[in-house]
């Protein structure tokens, strides 16, 4: 990996982590199209740049969480089912979901179609509530919805936002909740990967420059995108991300067939 690739992957992570377009899918295909193999360093690099995206949310919403104990409690409750699913399915996630490109792109397309249909048919029913007004059973359901994102292509943020819209939460509130829920979720996932790859980390001292660049680029990109996305959802729906998925999938399929056939 060179400095340009590190910057590009940092941008991809920062931009896609909190949008309903699946950051995992983008990183897998981004690395593949750049000719970067699935090495131990790439796995470590992805953990580091994900940490940069997490830090952006912490920087933006730490005060909000510290002042709202009820919201923090709901986020923790939502995190539990996601963590349990992740632990139970860890080997399947890494051995099947991350290796099957056709499964990934099929899911990416199907979720895009779902977003388009959902937004076309979805209608508000009654007054909308704030994120901290959901009850604990609803928080569990949101966590289960997020757990579907163990399949690359689903989108953790998209699953959470759709679930919260169905539960009657305001769009911008649903987006903020998805950001906050990402912090323990991504920290747990990153922590598990670091633990399993702890010997690799100490062997990458000579690549600290690439790791630092990727981290900083991811942080800046995520910081900008998170602020923009909340503003966007206050006036628009997610249909555009569905169309984006379909367009990108078409481009990737054409590119893949041209390069490998």
Radius of gyration of the chain (CA): 18
**Structure pTM?**
0.88
C-alpha dihedral, 193 to 198 to 204 to 209, nearest 10°: 60
Q: Considering Cα of 83, then 72, then 214, then 250, what sign does the dihedral take? A: positive
What single DSSP character describes residue 107? Answer: H
Q: Tell me: pLDDT of 206 over 70.
A: no
Of the two residues 29 and 92, the one the predictor is more confident about is 29
User: Where on the phi/psi map is residue 148: left (φ > 0), alpha (ψ -120 to 50), or beta?
Assistant: alpha
What CA–CA distance (Å, rounded) separates 3 from 19?
A: 25
Band the pLDDT of 123: cuts 50, 70, 90: confident
Per-residue confidence (pLDDT) for residue 118, from 0 to 100: 94
**pLDDT tens per residue, range 124-171:** 766 789 999 999 999 999 999 999 888 888 898 999 999 999 999 999
CA atoms within 13 A on the CB side of 80: 11
Q: Domain limits of the chain?
A: 3-260
**pLDDT tens per residue, range 32-70:** 888 887 777 787 788 889 889 999 999 999 888 888 899
What CA–CA distance (Å, rounded) separates 124 from 122?
A: 7
Band the pLDDT of 252: cuts 50, 70, 90: confident
Q: What are phi and psi of 194, to 5 degrees?
A: -65, -40
Q: Tell me: pLDDT of 21 over 80.
A: yes
What CA–CA distance (Å, rounded) separates 3 from 8?
A: 9
């Amino acid at each position: 990996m060179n400095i340009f690739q590190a910057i590009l992957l940092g941008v991809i992570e920062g931009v896609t982590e909190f949008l309903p377009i699946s950051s995992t899918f983008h990183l897998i295909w981004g690395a593949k199209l750049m000719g970067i193999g699935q090495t131990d360093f790439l796995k470590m690099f992805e953990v580091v740049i994900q940490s940069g995206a997490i830090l952006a949310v912490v920087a933006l919403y730490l005060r909000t969480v510290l002042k709202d104990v009820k919201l923090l409690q709901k986020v923790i409750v939502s995190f539990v089912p996601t963590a349990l699913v992740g632990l139970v399915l860890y080997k399947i996630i890494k051995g099947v979901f991350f290796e099957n490109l056709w499964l990934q792109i099929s899911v990416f397309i199907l979720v895009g179609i779902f977003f388009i249909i959902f937004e076309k048919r979805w209608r508000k029913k009654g007054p909308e509530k704030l994120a901290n007004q959901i009850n604990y059973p609803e928080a569990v359901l949101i966590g289960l919805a997020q757990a579907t994102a163990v399949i690359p292509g689903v989108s953790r943020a998209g699953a959470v936002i759709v679930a919260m819209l169905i539960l009657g939460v305001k769009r911008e509130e649903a987006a903020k909740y998805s950001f906050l829920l990402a912090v323990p979720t991504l920290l747990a996932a990153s922590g598990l990967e670091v633990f399993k790859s702890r010997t690799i980390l100490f062997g990458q001292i000579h690549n600290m420059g690439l790791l630092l660049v990727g981290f900083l680029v991811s942080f800046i990109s995520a910081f900008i995108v998170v602020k923009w996305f909340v503003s966007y959802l206050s006036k628009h729906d997610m249909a555009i991300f569905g169309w984006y998925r379909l367009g990108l999938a078409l481009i990737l399929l054409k590119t893949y067939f041209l390069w490998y056939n």
